């Protein structure tokens, strides 16, 4: 079996930058037609242009995944444009404010949970509804190493990512006999700009990486994308309800 996705239709939320963008490109390279979704139309179109320059086929659909009606419309448009929905990466997410819980407001909590957890729930609901019509499909949710462990000053983010792990396991069980596989990726420190937020200098970041990441370096978005493509391919046909850590060994400690 290979990671060939010829003739498949793939959806990537949060496909405007970083892991989402690289995964959208990787889907296209594997032969899929790609719907790129996100809130930023300019950056989303940039992702589409990068795919098209390589000879791939892609479309951008602007979506706020915290709004159920917009997610439902996204899935409808995907099927209207390309005829099906075979693979999905639910990647859209925000880190939120870094602070102790005593300094966080309800608004701070809602901002993270509405996008990371509720938004992923909405995506799963409507993706699964379409895939049930087709009799099969593969979905990958983006969690985090912080979906497995805690992180100081990151309570809303950690809670939302732990929630994604729970959603993945529950729904994988619900649809295991109906041809739909649902898994999670858990990226560790990935060079997308997010991991260095809150660090005082490059020296501090480098020290953190050398101390806490066994491989001694940050990962890259294309490395995460490869895991997603494998999970969505027939090569992973007996894999569901699990999480793959792409973290240089961080969670093995």
Residues designated catalytic: 157
Q: How many other CB atoms sit within 10 Å of the CB of residue 249? A: 13
d(CA 150, CA 155): 8
Query: Coil, strand, or helix at residue 248?
Result: coil
Beta strand extents in the chain (DSSP E only): 9-13, 33-38, 58-62, 87-90, 137-142, 180-187, 243-246
Task: Tell me the helices (H) and strands (E) count for the chain, helix number first.
Answer: 8, 7
d(CA 223, CA 213): 16
d(CA 210, CA 205): 9
């Amino acid at each position: 079996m290979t990671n060939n996705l010829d003739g498949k239709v793939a959806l990537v939320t949060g496909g405007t930058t970083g892991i989402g963008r690289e995964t959208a490109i990787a889907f296209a390279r594997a032969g899929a037609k790609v719907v790129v979704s996100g809130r930023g139309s300019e950056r989303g179109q940039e992702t589409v242009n990068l795919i098209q320059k390589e000879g791939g086929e892609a479309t951008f659909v602007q979506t706020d995944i915290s709004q159920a009606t917009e997610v439902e419309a996204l899935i409808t448009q995907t099927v209207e444009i390309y005829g099906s929905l075979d693979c999905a990466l639910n990647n859209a997410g925000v880190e939120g404010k870094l602070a102790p819980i005593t300094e966080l407001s309800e608004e701070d909590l809602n901002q993270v949970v509405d996008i990371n957890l509720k938004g992923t729930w909405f995506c799963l609901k409507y993706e699964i509804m379409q895939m049930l019509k087709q009799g099969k499909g593969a979905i990958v949710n983006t969690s985090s190493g912080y979906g497995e462990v805690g992180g100081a000053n990151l309570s809303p983010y950690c809670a939302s990512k732990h929630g994604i792990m729970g959603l993945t396991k529950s729904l994988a069980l619900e649809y295991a006999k109906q041809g739909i596989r649902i898994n999670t990726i858990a990226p560790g420190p990935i060079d997308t700009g997010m991991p260095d937020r809150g660090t005082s200098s490059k020296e501090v970041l480098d020290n953190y990486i050398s101390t806490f990441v066994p491989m001694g370096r940050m990962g890259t978005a294309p490395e995460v994308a490869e895991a997603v493509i494998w999970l969505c391919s027939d090569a992973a046909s007996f894999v569901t309800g699990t999480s793959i850590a792409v973290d240089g060994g961080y969670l093995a400690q």
